[in-house]
Amino acid sequence: MVPKVESPDDLAFVDGLLAEADADVREAGPPGVQALVETARGIQALREISTASPRLESIVIGYADLAASLGRSRAGAADLDRWLALQDAVLVAARAAGLRAIDGPYLAIDDADGLRAAATRAADLGFDGKWVIHPAQIDTVLRAFTPRAEEVAHAEAVLSAMEQGGGAGAVSLDGEMVDEPVRLAALRTLERAGRGPGGQR
C-alpha cells in the first residue's frame, strides 16, 4: 500500500524499488500495489495515477487526510453525501483502468449505524471493498459486501440465460433484457460471493 499518492511519479518510484525484489519472489509473482489517494492533488491526478504502473491493483480513497486537504469541517467530513462526487471520481478512474476501487475506512469506531450506512452505500455504488480500522468493524463490512442469496441466484440465472442464448447479443430472462453489461455485473456479484460461474467455489 502506497500512501499519499499524488502523481504517477510516486508509483514510478515504488515500481523502481520493487523491481529489485522481483527476482526474489519469482514463484509468487511480482508484488502488487494499492494506491491510497488522500489529497486534493491525488484526486486531481486520478486518471494519470490509475495508469501509472502495471503493478497497480486498486485505488483506495483515504478520508481523514483528504478531509484535511480539502479543509472540511468535522461535520462536513462526517456527512456521507458530501463524499459522493469524490467516491464517483475514484470509482470511475479505477474502472476505466481495470482496477479495484476500495472505499476508505469509517473512522467512528463506536458508530455501528454510521458504519453500516457507509459500507452499504459503498457496496451499492460499486466499490469492491472497504477498509476497516478496528476488528469490530469487520463483520458489518463483510455483510455489506457479501451478496444476498437472491442476488447470487439471479446472477447465476443471468449467466445460464446468456449461455443458452448461444452468443446472442441479448436474451430475455423473466421478461427483462439481459446483455453483456448485465452479464459482467453478474460475474462481479459471483466474485463477491466467492463463487465462479455455475456456483463453483
Query: Residue 117 is placed in which grid cell?
Result: 450506512
Q: Are residues 69 and 167 in the same domain?
A: no
Quick check: 99 pLDDT over 70?
yes
**Is residue 65 included in any domain, yes or no?**
yes
145, 170, 187 — which closes off a domain? 145
d(C-alpha 180, C-alpha 169), whole Å = 7
Q: Can you give the pLDDT at residue 200?
A: 47
Q: How far apart are CA 11 and CA 48, in angstroms?
A: 10
Residue spans of alpha helices (H) in 102-137: 112-125
116 and 96 in one domain? yes
119-145 pLDDT per residue, tens: 999 999 999 999 999 999 999 999 999
Report if residue 31 sits inside a domain: yes
Asked whether residue 57 is assigned to any structural domain, the reply reads yes
Output DSSP code: residue 172: E
| Whole-structure pTM value | 0.82
Q: Residue 32, Cβ neighbours under 10 Å: how many?
A: 12
Same domain, yes or no, for 16 and 82? yes
Number of domains the chain is built from: 2
Residue 1 lies in a domain: no
CATH number, domain of 79, equals 3.20.20.60
Letter for the amino acid at 192? R
Angle, vertex CA 37, rays to CA 145 and CA 26, nearest 5: 80
